[in-house]
């Protein structure tokens, strides 16, 4: 257990009125964290909380710093969602157009009726790659897009609505490349991160490598992994294609700490960012797409992004899920805090990033200790979001 001295940063930003939220973060951190974490909030266009603590690497006890960045896993899908919305606003994509209209090879195996809305809403029936993959194949998005274009949709009826954990990123990334010409990482860097001055990347430049926190498995992770393996042992073919082709989190190799995985463009899971930058992005979206004089999206495009396209219970893991244009929407799990209109995207292991439009607020929680069974909630961030809501909803 870390001491309070290790959880408190002398340079924390805590705006007047938000002291109770900082205290909730410190208390939750002292009780639950054995690694490092950061929490940031942008409210009404201004940063009001920028908190961090713990260590970047448990082995060396190197402290978490103000500029530490973190692999955000599926939080990357929120970055991709913004890119898709920009292209929709520019008229280069439309939700109701066939994917094959801009990606002809995708029509193979009868997929000519799949629409762009199916890709962003996790209803495309392509939740996994059927060709056997090695871990290094995750570093080749163009090849994975070709494999998905060539394979048929899943016939298992459960695949009508199932989380496309990695394939969402490869499918969206190829759509971006087809209609814009740039890779998803370059598009995000030039059209999103640069205008908003974000420290967030889909494909990390080498000069930032030493700022990335080292991931580690935490309590409950072995149980989570065992459940996946058990499903496959029961000949759960769909689960195997999604979760074990290739194994994403083998117990003896947390490959997401490798430089090769940091620099690769893995748009479903490989993004790296600081919490303050994720909060800034969602703070912009919570204000209708504008921040500090930068107009990222029109208000009506942001509204489209959080308009419900799909909702249900994921048949493989039992989680209630709802999606707009790539963003997760609020469900009974209250993953994004109390507001019913909250949206964003969380990441495996415990990170969560989102917007509260009614409060014009964006937040981000990022950490380097991965915890399992996210469907049960995460005690590390829930009390912090509750305390935040108590402050801004008065």
Annotated active-site positions, please? 74
CA distance 297 to 284: 9
* Cβ neighbours for 10, distance < 8 A, ≥ 6 positions apart: none
Beta carbons within 10 angstroms of residue 112's beta carbon = 13
CA distance 43 to 350: 23
Q: Are strands 352-356 and 361-367 parallel, antiparallel or unpaired?
A: antiparallel
* Cβ neighbours for 148, distance < 8 A, ≥ 6 positions apart: 106, 126, 129, 167, 170, 171, 174
Closest CA to 296 of 202, 192, 184: 192
Tokens of 90: 């520019």
41 touches 361 (CB < 8 A): yes
Strand intervals (E) in 164-209: 200-201
Helix (H, G, I), strand (E, B) or coil at 46: strand
Closest CA to 364 of 381, 377, 376, 348: 381
Is the N-terminal amide bond of 246 cis, ω within 30° of 0?
yes
């Amino acid at each position: 257990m870390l001491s309070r001295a290790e959880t408190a940063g002398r340079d924390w930003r805590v705006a007047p009125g938000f002291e109770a939220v900082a205290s909730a973060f410190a208390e939750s951190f002292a009780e639950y964290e054995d690694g490092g974490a950061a929490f940031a909030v942008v409210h009404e266009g201004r940063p009001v909380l920028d908190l961090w603590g713990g260590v970047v690497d448990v082995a060396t006890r190197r402290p978490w710093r103000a500029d530490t960045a973190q692999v955000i896993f599926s939080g990357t899908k929120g970055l991709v969602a913004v890119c898709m919305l920009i292209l929709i606003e520019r008229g280069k994509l439309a939700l109701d157009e066939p994917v094959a209209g801009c990606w002809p090879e995708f029509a193979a195996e009868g997929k000519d009726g799949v629409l762009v809305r199916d890709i962003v809403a996790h209803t495309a029936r392509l939740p996994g790659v059927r060709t056997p993959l090695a871990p290094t194949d995750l570093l080749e998005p163009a090849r994975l897009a070709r494999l998905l274009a060539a394979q048929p949709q899943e016939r298992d009826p459960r695949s009508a609505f199932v989380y496309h954990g990695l394939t969402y990123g490869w499918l969206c990334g190829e759509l971006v490349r087809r209609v814009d010409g740039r890779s998803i990482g370059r598009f995000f860097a030039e059209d999103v991160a640069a205008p908003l001055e974000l420290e967030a990347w889909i494909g990390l430049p080498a000069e930032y490598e030493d700022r990335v926190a080292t991931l580690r498995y935490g309590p409950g992770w072995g149980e989570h992994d065992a459940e996946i393996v058990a499903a496959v042992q029961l000949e759960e073919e769909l689960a195997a294609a999604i979760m074990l082709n290739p194994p994403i989190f083998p117990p003896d190799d947390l490959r997401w700490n490798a430089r090769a995985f940091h620099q690769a463009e893995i748009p479903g899971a490989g993004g790296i960012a600081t919490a303050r930058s994720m909060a800034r992005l969602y703070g912009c979206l919570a204000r209708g797409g504008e921040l500090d004089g930068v107009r990222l999206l029109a208000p009506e495009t942001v509204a489209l992004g959080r308009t419900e396209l799909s909702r249900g219970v994921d048949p493989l893991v039992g989680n209630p899920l709802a999606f707009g244009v790539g963003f997760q929407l609020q469900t009974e799990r209250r993953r994004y805090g109390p507001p019913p209109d909250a949206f964003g995207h969380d990441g495996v292991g415990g990170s969560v990033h989102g917007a509260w439009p009614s409060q014009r607020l964006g937040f981000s929680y990022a950490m380097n200790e991965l915890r399992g069974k996210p469907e049960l909630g995460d005690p590390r961030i829930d009390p912090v979001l509750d305390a935040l809501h108590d402050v801004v909803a008065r």
